[in-house]
Amino acid sequence: MAVLDLQFWPAEVLRNRSEPVTTFDPALLQLLENMAETMYVENGIGLAAPQVAVPKRIVVMDVPMDEERTSNLKALINPTIVEKSGEIVYEEGCLSFPGLTADVSRAAVVLVRYQDHEGNWHEDTMKELEAVCIQHEIDHLDGINFVDYLSPLKRKILLRELQKNLAEQGVAA
């Protein structure tokens, strides 16, 4: 496995709609493994392929479902939200926006349809933090970032803070 390079705002790949996956082969499985490794190294709970410069509709996520933080790793190919219900406000962060968080309102429960690494279709109901995570990651596949849900003033303040954080880390933004 390999740790992939994260893309930081305002990278163009974070603003574009990703292409569906049509080839299910060993290269896809390797990408999924590398994405999971990258997510774990960066202490994330979700990662979309555009965040590692791959414009494909691929998500990995691991939202622990119990107090022991038992791994719940999922790889979702070509995910779509079929149904939404309820509302939850959660303080979201993003690996492509290091150091930033903001409250975002999303559906509390979602039914997600997706393919696995072999191309088989599945449906899964996700709730609360897991629902927030998959909505956040699917947004990445559509070129939407969590800061897009904020007021223009709040977004401007946070993006200015991001530029400062990245400059302090020696990362060109």
Q: Cα(156)–Cα(122) distance, rounded to whole angstroms? A: 39
Q: Cα(63)–Cα(45) distance, rounded to whole angstroms? A: 6
Task: List Cβ neighbours of 26 (8 Å cut-off, separation of 6 or more).
Answer: none
Contact 63, 45 (CB under 8 A): yes
- Prior bond to 98 cis, omega within 30? no
Q: Cα(144)–Cα(56) distance, rounded to whole angstroms? A: 14
Q: Cα(29)–Cα(110) distance, rounded to whole angstroms? A: 26
Q: Is 168 a catalytic residue?
A: no
Per the DSSP assignment, residues forming a β-bridge with 42 are none
Q: How far is CA 168 from CA 67, 83, 94, 161, 173, in A?
A: 35, 42, 18, 11, 11
Task: Say which of 37, 91, 137, 168 is annotated catalytic.
Answer: 137
Residues annotated catalytic, as ranges: 137
